[in-house]
Amino acid sequence: MFFWFECFSGFKRVVTVNRLNMGQSVSGLKQEDIEAMMKATNFTEYELRRLYRRFKKLDRDGSGTLTTDEFEAIPELSQNPLLGRLLSIFDKNKDEEIQFSEFVGTLATLSDKGSQDAKLRFAFQVYDIDGDGFISNGELFQVLKMMVGTNFNDVQLQQIVDKTIIEADLDKDGKISFEEFCAIIGKNSDGIGEKLTINWQ
């Protein structure tokens, strides 16, 4: 089960390494928005303002949202084969742009303020492509194919997928539920919380 958290390595690196200029002014962030996000995320006002400055720096076209192209312009992320999957999880309203509230909500989940359950749900969503609450054989194959590229042929990769499904599918319905995902992760992975925590400061 080496692969469950590999998709986060580049993303963790960019949020940690990409220390943006903190001297910029913060405009466009209303006090009521800050207060609502403070309640929803447990970030302080100071932390939200810092994150907003970072968000504005990433927003190269000044649109107030982040696009896939803007994320792909970040060298540490451009090579992540699962960038599209990660961004689709950020994009709660599915408009193909990341608003600041979506950006902050996901970072709150992946920060040290996020619960382990929320972090595991995020990781589960990477594999649950259709959002039906289960990881199917086909979805696991698709995500692993993105991750390994040509390092395995399709037959080898399908064998890994089949073995994983057999091992994780406790109720034998042919797919992995969130509870089964948590059980297999708990059994095979040390330091889950650390692997799914981003140091954004």
Q: Tell me which amino acid residue 48 is.
A: L
| Overall pTM surpassing 0.95 (yes/no) | no
116 three-class SS: helix
Average pLDDT over residues 6-27: 44
CATH 1.10.238.10 fits 1-15+30-114, yes or no: yes
Stretch(es) of the chain classified as CATH 1.10.238.10:
1-15+30-114, 129-195
pLDDT in tens, 18-60: 433 333 334 578 899 999 999 999 899 999 999 999 999 999 9
pLDDT in tens, 107-153: 998 888 888 888 899 999 999 999 999 999 999 999 999 999 889 99
Average pLDDT over residues 164-184: 95
Q: Could you give the C-alpha distances from 139 to 63, 91, 132, 191, in angstroms and in order?
A: 33, 19, 11, 25
Contact 91, 98 (CB under 8 A): yes
Q: What CATH number should be reported for the domain whose range is 129-195?
A: 1.10.238.10
